Amino acid sequence: MTLRTPLPPAFKDALRAIALPLGLGLVSLGLVACSGDDGDAGPTSAPTDEVTAPAEFMAAPPASLDSYAYAVSITISPDAIDSSEAPAGLDLGDDDFTFQIDGMVVNPDREHSTTVANLGFLSLTLESIQIGMDEWTKQDDGGWKPSTAGDPLAVMLGDTDFSPGAIFTADEGYSFEELTARLEAHGYEQDEVDGRAARHFTFTDEEFYAVFQTDREVLPAELDATMTADLWIAEDLGVPLKMVIVGADASGTQILQIDMALTDLNGEFTIEAPI
């Protein structure tokens, strides 16, 4: 079923029950970033990567790029959902819930993204353009309108933002020099991501918090799971290229996976207000 009308209260309650464990405190990875994205007529990109490689490896946020494209895939098992908060009689089903988010960013403050959510009992496609403090959304085949607090995407994800610009953020004064030193000490494997040399880091819960020096939870308190994380950082630019986070329950069964990738670094994108 594809929603084309405002969500009734019962559906909103169900979405909140599902979104609660999706309120992942991913704004904790200790890297800074901003969001921006690409235009209404369909994004085009021409990667240039005209950036002078640093003499030594140095971790850097996506905000250090002129622009980039990204994809985020979120899969959550129904076993991780607290169905007690869902409306009576609403069957959440046995299939995984999935979110696919594709976007493009022009720093410092432009972003164009499309989110496709499949929650079993409903599916939803939402497109969003953000320019500075202004944001517009489009649901399914509907028209563009200014974003409001009651939009379906806001209902589903609350204050959670899964774009790299939000995932890789940090408090003021965060030291990338110190982060780089901790990454070096942690150890890594040489790898490639789409032909670009990268450092592949693997973390357990404890290792992750020790390296990134954050007191924010990566997995939400409502989700009873432990985390492992794989992170690929570009050797030349120091920015994250790829990340995979897996959450497992006490029995070791995977109940959550988040895949993120950055591509078309410093590509040429145009993002304009849709209305």
Domains (ranges, CATH) in the chain? 9-50+57-263 (2.50.20)
Q: In this model, does residue 180 exceed pLDDT 50?
A: yes
pLDDT band at 47 (very low <50, low <70, confident <90, very high): very low
Q: What is the pLDDT of residue 266?
A: 97
Q: Summarize the confidence of residues 252-258 as an average pLDDT.
A: 92
**Is residue 158 within 8 Å of residue 19, measured between CB atoms?**
yes
Contact 76, 22 (CB under 8 A): yes
Angle between helix 176-186 and 205-212 (nearest 10):
140
15 and 239 in contact (C-beta within 8 Å)? no
pLDDT confidence band for 85 (50 / 70 / 90): low
Q: What pLDDT, on a 0 to 100 scale, did the predictor assign at position 157?
A: 53
- Mean pLDDT taken over the chain: 77
**Distance from C-alpha of 274 to C-alpha of 87, rounded to nearest angstrom:** 36
Contacts of 265 (CB under 8 A, 6+ apart): 47, 49, 65, 67, 68, 234, 237, 239
pLDDT at 154: 53
| pLDDT at residue 147, as a whole number | 83
Paired with 68 in beta bridges are 105
Q: Could you tell me which residues are beta bridge partners of residue 99? A: 74, 117
Environment class of residue 93 by beta-carbon count within 10 Å: exposed (0-12), middle (13-18) or buried (19+)?
A: exposed
At 39, the pLDDT band (50, 70, 90 cuts) reads: very low
- What tokens appear for 105 in the block? 């960013």
- What would the mean pLDDT of 103-111 be, rounded to a whole number? 96
Choice between 50 and 108, residue whose per-residue pLDDT is larger = 108
Task: Please report the sign of the dihedral spanned by the C-alpha atoms of residue 32, residue 35, residue 36, residue 42.
Answer: positive
The alpha-helical segments, DSSP class H, found in 90-247 are 152-157, 164-167, 176-186, 205-212
**pLDDT tens for residues 216-231?**
666 666 677 889 999 9
Q: Is the Cβ–Cβ distance between 92 and 14 less than 8 Å? A: yes
Closest CA to 33 of 77, 79, 2, 66: 66
Give percent of the chain above pLDDT 70.
67
Calculate mean pLDDT across residues 256-274.
Answer: 96
Confidence at 52, pLDDT banded by 50, 70, 90: very low
Best CA proximity match to 96, nearest among 257, 226, 259, 261 = 257
Whole-structure pTM value: 0.77
In this structure, what is the dihedral angle of CA atoms 275, 107, 268, 148, given to the nearest 10 degrees? -20
The b-or-e profile of 188-198 (16+ CB within 10 A means b, else e) is: beebebeebeb
Residue 68, class by beta-carbon neighbours within 10 Å (0-12 exposed, 13-18 middle, 19+ buried)? buried
* pLDDT for residue 174 is more than 50: yes
Binning pLDDT at 50, 70 and 90, where does residue 92 land?
Answer: low
Tell me the backbone φ, ψ of residue 46, rounded to 5 degrees: -135, 85
Q: Which residues contact 259 (CB under 8 A, 6 or more apart)?
A: 71, 72, 73, 242, 243, 244
Which of the four pLDDT bands, split at 50, 70 and 90, describes residue 205?
A: confident
Q: Given the structure tokens 């819960």, which residue do they identify?
A: 205
